[in-house]
Amino acid sequence: MGVALRAVGSSACSACRLSAPRLFAGHISALRAVQAATRQWPATPANARFSSFRATPRLQQPSIEEVEEEKVGNDVQEPASGPNGDDVPWYLQVEPPRHPTLLHEPPPLPEIPESSPKLMEPLLKFAAEELGLDELSLLDLRELDPAPALGPDLMMLFGSARSERHLHVSADRLVRWLRGRGITAQADGLLGRNELKTRLRRKARKAKLLGKTGGGPGEDDGISTGWICVNLGTLGRSDQEVTIYDETGAQVGFGVPQLGTTVVVQIMTESRREELSLEKLWSGKLKRSLEKNQPEQEIEAPGAKGPGIVGGSQFAVPSRFFSTSSRQLDVPAVDSTAIGEIISSGRQAVSMEEMSELLMTDVESKLHVLSLLKQYAESLNDHTTALDRALVPFEDGAPSAFLSIFNRAISGLSPSQALEHRLWLETLRANNLSPFYSNFEVAKALVKELQSGPEISRENCIDLIRLIYTHGGKSDEDVRQQSILTMEVIDTMSARGEKVLDNDVVGTVIESLLRHGRKESPEVTRLLRQFEDLFAPGYLPCPSEALLVRLLDAYSAQGDWGGFWKTWRIPPRFLQPRSGRMYAYLFHRFAADNNQKRATYALRWTVDEMTKEQPPVLPRGRLLEALKACILCADPTAVRRANQVKMMPTMPREAAGEFPYLLLKLDEAAETDNFQVFQPNNLGA
């Protein structure tokens, strides 16, 4: 282009020289106008945040190109729908929501009882809103008598933390919040911030060291407690001593009055709260306290009617009067024969005249009738049909005559006496009607009644544990439910001061699992292994022979001969001797089993052990008979070969065989009454 301009400039005039550049300028202007018409630049404000340049009025005016762009842009945009241009297009309009917004409403706070401290309302709001504790519940224990060790007029607030960290943070913030209100709270289980960091550092260091050696950290690290108890103390208490006067105005003492309300906040993780179940524990304690302090019912007016137990009929409820004069109660002259005649009649209900003859209004008469019912049931042990008819209700649901008299007799007894007799009846029905009779709900009802407060003996608690495993199915889930119910009975015994880690409790559970559980069940196997390990020396003393015989019988009934011999060897592990009664049971059991291999094994191991006991066990009486029966099971030809040896004096006795030789030694000892010559150590293996 430079060459063309020089050529034009050298050959043409000035007008021609100016016309040539206009041709190029026109094309460039047209091209620029087309580009401005097809392109729209957004009018964004200039960002001069990082510049110190001051804009002058001249620079703020738009240039020619910018004005053209705005014109073109305005031509392209749609005209405003309204006269003022304030309306927004439909696709940019924001409509109000047609449905209400679903907001998460927090659960309501527990109701505050009357006459509560003023701090309770802000404390509940702080625990729910600021601390974020879930499942808040307030337990009013101010009517608990006697007052608990935590303090008088106790009120307890429960809350669940979401994690272990949330637990410690919430407890720490609560203590600081109370401190700001002038209350010095004591938080048991709360670790300080520095102490928590120190323990976590030690735990990490210990885990690192144990990881190198192949070990694992312990379960209790002192950090994961899952439970913090914040005791606010007694609010509104007075430390000023006052003088105490009696009703006559005489001074009887002095001291600090028990005023104010004790507030305790229990913060736990969800798993720990479910495990401890403190709310259930304190609620049951409060219920028992209220029932204990409840006054006796007033005497009803004579002639009052009340619903009876037998068949839904109405019986006249006799009035009960209290007298201070000592007199002998007239027990009705009723024997078991009269009860047997009424029960054997098969009637669905007992008439009022017959009931009045059997039952008087006093307790001793009812206990006498209950003892006669037990005698009648024992007399029917050999007549299962009559006993089943007495223990089972009729088809229409009406109780039998036996059950009618029983229900009427226990109606006026104390809760403890009524529970004992109901337990006896259910045990009788389970033992005689099993396996056709099985009602797990009955066992649950008895356990619930036991937890409500009645005091029964330790033997009755053991019978209740045995009854639990009698009812229910044999699946793993059924065994698991039975074990949970058994642990509730054991916990109740422990709360009442009974020793639960003892041979009778452990042995009863093992025996019940063996007799009523499936041998191939994994749950039964796991429970048996756990309870059998408690018989090791160091946990429990040596079991009694009666318990060992029961366990031996249960193992042999299930065909678990490994467990049988393990139980047989328990006394030597405790350095305790075994009596002739245990040896007699052993030989009699293997003789009744009629298995030659097992009988041979028992003779070769136990006959030699008899003379090594301290003192030695000599074969006399029942033991001698059981031993001979076991020998005949192991070798049916032992008697014949022993007689052949007796007829041939020159023949050595050892040549007759192992068990014939043992029979000869037994006969010789029995004839001379000198069992010292009985030396089974010389027997061949």
- As a whole number of angstroms, the distance between CA 199 and CA 596 comes to 65
pLDDT, position 83: 45
pLDDT, position 659: 84
Dihedrals phi, psi of 248, to nearest 5 degrees: -85, -5
Q: Where are the domains of the chain?
A: 1-33, 120-208+223-236+257-287, 450-575, 577-685
Q: Which of 108-117, 292-301, 380-389 shows the lowest per-residue confidence on average (mean pLDDT)?
A: 292-301
pLDDT band at 552 (very low <50, low <70, confident <90, very high): very high
Q: Which of 23-27, 434-438, 610-614, 673-677 shows the lowest per-residue confidence on average (mean pLDDT)?
A: 23-27
Q: 598: which 2 tokens?
A: 């097992």
CATH number of the structural domain 120-208+223-236+257-287: 3.30.460.10
List C-alpha distances in Å: 283 to 156, 290, 435, 591: 11, 11, 38, 57
pLDDT band at 254 (very low <50, low <70, confident <90, very high): low
pLDDT digits (tens, 9 = 90+) for 354-364: 555 556 556 77
pLDDT band at 539 (very low <50, low <70, confident <90, very high): confident
pLDDT, position 262: 92
What element of type H or E holds 363? helix 363-379
List C-alpha distances in Å: 442 to 457, 473, 516: 20, 14, 17
Residue 283, pLDDT > 70, answer: yes
**Most confident range, picked from 15-24, 44-53, 374-383, 628-637:** 628-637
User: 622-634 and 638-647 are packed helices; what angle lies between their axes, rounded to 10 degrees?
Assistant: 100
pLDDT, position 311: 36
Q: 387: which 2 tokens?
A: 């006993």
Q: Helix, strand, coil shares of the chain as percentages rounded to 5?
A: 55, 10, 40
Residue 334, pLDDT > 80, answer: no
- As a whole number of angstroms, the distance between CA 69 and CA 66 comes to 5
Q: 21: which 2 tokens?
A: 């550049």
pLDDT band at 75 (very low <50, low <70, confident <90, very high): very low
pLDDT, position 178: 94
- As a whole number of angstroms, the distance between CA 603 and CA 627 comes to 8
Please compute the mean of the pLDDT values over residues 659-685 and round it to a whole number. Answer: 65
Please compute the mean of the pLDDT values over residues 206-235 and round it to a whole number. Answer: 72
What element of type H or E holds 461? helix 458-470
Beta pairing, strands 261-269 & 154-161? parallel
Q: Which of 260, 224, 13, 35 is nearest to 152 (CA)?
A: 260
230: left (phi over 0), alpha (psi -120 to 50) or beta: beta
Q: 461: which 2 tokens?
A: 């608690």
- As a whole number of angstroms, the distance between CA 666 and CA 373 comes to 49
List C-alpha distances in Å: 451 to 127, 495, 554: 33, 10, 30
Work out the percent of the chain whose per-residue pLDDT is above 70: 65
3-state helix/strand/coil string of 186-237: EEECCCCHHHHHHHHHHHHHHHHHHHHHCCCCCCCCCCCCCEEEEEEEEECC
Dihedrals phi, psi of 112, to nearest 5 degrees: -90, 125
> Is the Cα dihedral 399, 404, 409, 411 positive or negative?
positive
Q: Which of 74, 266, 34, 59 is nearest to 154 (CA)?
A: 266
pLDDT, position 81: 47
Q: Which of 289, 259, 281 is nearest to 156 (CA)?
A: 281
Q: Which of 484, 410, 487 is nearest to 454 (CA)?
A: 410
List C-alpha distances in Å: 596 to 593, 609, 629, 634: 9, 20, 12, 5
Residue 231, pLDDT > 90, answer: yes
pLDDT, position 214: 44
Q: 320: which 2 tokens?
A: 């009960």
Where do the DSSP E strands lie in 362-488?
none
Q: How far is C-alpha 182 from the geometric centre of its chain's CA atoms?
A: 40
Residue 387, pLDDT > 80, answer: no
Contact 356, 366 (CB under 8 A): no
pLDDT digits (tens, 9 = 90+) for 417-426: 888 888 888 8
Q: Which of 402, 409, 383 is nearest to 308 (CA)?
A: 409
pLDDT digits (tens, 9 = 90+) for 635-650: 888 888 888 877 776 6
Q: Which of 543, 518, 545 is nearest to 531 (CA)?
A: 543
**Which amino acid, 661?**
Y
pLDDT digits (tens, 9 = 90+) for 89-113: 888 878 766 655 555 677 888 999 9
> Is the Cα dihedral 410, 416, 419, 424 positive or negative?
negative
Please tell me which residue, 660 or 162, carries the higher pLDDT value: 162
Other CB atoms within 10 Å distance of the CB of residue 535: 22
pLDDT, position 351: 54
pLDDT band at 390 (very low <50, low <70, confident <90, very high): confident
Q: Which SS3 state, helix, strand or coil, does residue 161 take?
A: strand
pLDDT, position 8: 46
Dihedrals phi, psi of 86, to nearest 5 degrees: -95, -15
Q: pTM of the entire structure?
A: 0.49
Residue 189, pLDDT > 80, answer: yes
pLDDT band at 341 (very low <50, low <70, confident <90, very high): low
- As a whole number of angstroms, the distance between CA 66 and CA 43 comes to 10
pLDDT, position 106: 74
pLDDT, position 310: 35
Residue 546, pLDDT > 80, answer: yes
Other CB atoms within 10 Å distance of the CB of residue 5: 12
DSSP output for 450-505? HHTS----HHHHHHHHHHHHHSS--SHHHHHHHHHHHHHHHHHHHHTT---SSHHH
Q: Which of 158-167, 310-319, 340-349, 558-567 shows the lowest per-residue confidence on average (mean pLDDT)?
A: 310-319
Residue 462, pLDDT > 60, answer: yes
Please compute the mean of the pLDDT values over residues 108-128 and round it to a whole number. Answer: 91
pLDDT, position 550: 92
List CB contacts of 457: < 8 A, sequence separation 6 or more: 420
Q: Which of 110, 166, 156 is nearest to 135 (CA)?
A: 110
Task: Tell me how many degrees the CA angle 351-352-353 measures, rounded to the nearest 5.
Answer: 95
Q: 211: which 2 tokens?
A: 């990881």
**Most confident range, picked from 117-126, 204-213, 339-348, 507-516:** 117-126
Dihedrals phi, psi of 316, to nearest 5 degrees: -75, 120
pLDDT, position 682: 44
Alpha helices (runs of H) in 114-188, residue ranges in sequence order: 120-125, 164-180
pLDDT band at 138 (very low <50, low <70, confident <90, very high): very high
Q: Which SS3 state, helix, strand or coil, does residue 135 take?
A: strand
Q: 283: which 2 tokens?
A: 């609620």
Question: Residue holding tokens 């050298």?
Answer: 10
List C-alpha distances in Å: 499 to 246, 275, 495: 44, 22, 10
Average pLDDT of every residue of the chain: 74
